[in-house]
Amino acid sequence: MPAVTLVRFMLPLVAGIACAWWIDRSTAARGLLPPGFAGASLSAVYRRVAAMALLGLVLFVGVFAAIGQIGLPSAMDQIDFERLSPLRLFQMHAILVAMLAAWLVLGYWRCGHDAGTVVLSQLGLRTRNSQTLPAEVGLGLGAGVVLWAGVLAVVLLTALVVGAAGGFENLPNEAPKMVLWMGGLPVVVRLMVSLSAGVVEEIFFRGFLMPRVGFGLSNVLFVLGHMSYEQPFMLLGVALLSIAFSMLTLWRGNIWPAIAAHFLFDAIQLLLIVPAAAGAAS
């Protein structure tokens, strides 16, 4: 393996493992360490190390690996979209779900905790006594409409300012090929992708990570996890949305509004905006 290729592989891997170690330290410092990880017994050590390793690998694959591709030709150009299965869109989400399930099992299995209570409390899904699930979801859907309009306006304004300063010919003039391909999928698949993104990504980044590592790092990791878009203005939109979803979660004390807002934003993009853009381009 060439030295440059090895470095491009090893740096994201080391970053993923180091970040997982930091998350473990931060979890312990915030008093959120699961009982299965506490103590100095061999069982506790094995559980904790296994959970940390799993999290590190997931962060490597889903967050830091894209950093190692910076400066290389776009990976999108190597994909045969005509043969690409829509199931690939759910691959990373399935990995995140499997990691979270393993982390909860390692941390709470045979520790005298009710499984339902653990899942709701540890992943930000528990509502307050004065809250109802329909009301939280409805609030999130309303926030999603406002966020969609606001983020779109900010991104377009930023593009205009950058174009006026540096020349409009230097601005990206087409959406990523992956996004355009997604816009041509059946409506049911696009809805499922939007729902999967809203549920799984919010559970992982807002429900799981944010209480353990804080507002700032969880949002940075969310943006890094979307670097495959390969366009700075789309990443700006992702960053703005991530901050908004995090603030919504802090305000309500649960992630249901963020799930609903995330789903609605993605659904509007995939059902309306992307197909319209693809049609205009063709």
Helix (H, G, I), strand (E, B) or coil at 224: helix
pLDDT number for residue 278: 65
Predicted TM-score of the model (pTM):
0.92
Q: How far apart are CA 72 and CA 91, in angstroms?
A: 23
pLDDT level of residue 237 (50, 70, 90 thresholds): very high
Domain extent, residue 120, equals: 3-281
Top pLDDT among 113 and 69 is at: 113
The yes-or-no verdict on residue 65 having pLDDT over 70 is yes
Q: How far apart are CA 174 and CA 159, in angstroms?
A: 13
pLDDT in tens, 74-107: 666 677 777 888 888 899 999 999 999 999 999 9
* 152 CB-contact burial (10 Å; exposed 0-12 / middle 13-18 / buried 19+): middle
pLDDT in tens, 2-59: 666 666 778 889 999 999 999 999 999 999 999 999 888 999 999 999 999 999 999 9
Q: 224 near 66, Cβ under 8 Å?
A: yes
* Average pLDDT of the residues in 162-190: 77
pLDDT level of residue 251 (50, 70, 90 thresholds): very high
The yes-or-no verdict on residue 184 having pLDDT over 90 is no
pLDDT number for residue 34: 93
Helix (H, G, I), strand (E, B) or coil at 255: coil
Q: Which two tokens stand for residue 204?
A: 């992982």
Q: 274 near 182, Cβ under 8 Å?
A: yes
Specify the range with the lowest mean pLDDT, choosing from 57-61, 103-107, 169-173, 191-195: 169-173
* Average pLDDT of the residues in 187-202: 96
DSSP state letter for 152: H
Residues found in the chain: 282
The yes-or-no verdict on residue 176 having pLDDT over 90 is no
Q: Give the closest residue to 256 by CA, choosing from 81, 128, 118, 75.
A: 128
Give the residue ranges of DSSP H helices in 30-132: 42-59, 91-108, 115-122
pLDDT number for residue 280: 59
Give the residue ranges of DSSP H helices in 109-208: 115-122, 133-166, 177-183, 187-196
Q: 77 near 176, Cβ under 8 Å?
A: no
Total domains present in the chain = 1
Average predicted confidence (pLDDT) for the chain: 88
Specify the range with the lowest mean pLDDT, choosing from 8-12, 177-181, 207-211: 177-181
* Average pLDDT of the residues in 259-281: 85
Q: How far apart are CA 139 and CA 103, in angstroms?
A: 30
